[in-house]
Amino acid sequence: MHKKKAVATKTESKPVAVSKSAASVTIDYPRPNEKVMPGHYTVRVAASGGTPNVVVSIDGGEFAPCRSAAGYWWFDWQATPGRHSLVARMPENAVETRARRFEVIANGNGNHN
C-alpha cells in the first residue's frame, strides 16, 4: 500500500513559507571600496526571506545585532580611520555575505551616510 504525500499549494488566504535557499542578505552601504568619513556611520543591510534578525561583523570582530527599520537592517558604528571589512549574516538561515571592503579616511574627503 502506497501512502500519499501531502502537497502544499499556494493560496490567497495562507502565507507560503520561504525556503532557506531563497533567503539572501546584501550590504547596501558602505559600497565596495567606498571612502567614508570618520565618526558616526550607519551600515545598511537588505535581507529577504523574513529573517527575524541580522548581525554584522567589522574587521573579523564579534557579530553584533542590527536594528530593523523602513524595510532594512541598520548598524550604527563609530568609524575609525583605516581600511575595514564588513560581513553581514542572517543567523537563522546560515546566509552570510562576502566581506565588503571599504576605507574610512582621516582627512574628511569622503561620503557620509
32-77 residue pLDDT tens: 999 999 999 999 999 987 889 999 999 999 999 999 999 999 999 9
Place of cell 570618520: 38
* Residue 111: band (very low, low, confident or very high) from pLDDT cuts 50, 70, 90: low
80 has a pLDDT exceeding 80: yes
| For the chain, domain boundaries | 22-104
Is the predicted pLDDT of residue 83 greater than 50, yes or no?
yes
Nearest to 43 by CA among 62, 56, 60: 56
The lowest-confidence range among 21-35, 48-62, 95-109 is: 95-109
User: Among 73, 83, 78, which Cα is nearest to 35's?
Assistant: 83
For the beta carbon of residue 85, count every other beta carbon within 10 angstroms.
13
Q: Does domain 22-104 have CATH number 2.60.40.10?
A: yes
Q: Using CB atoms within 10 A of its CB, is residue 46 exposed (0-12), middle (13-18) or buried (19+)?
A: middle
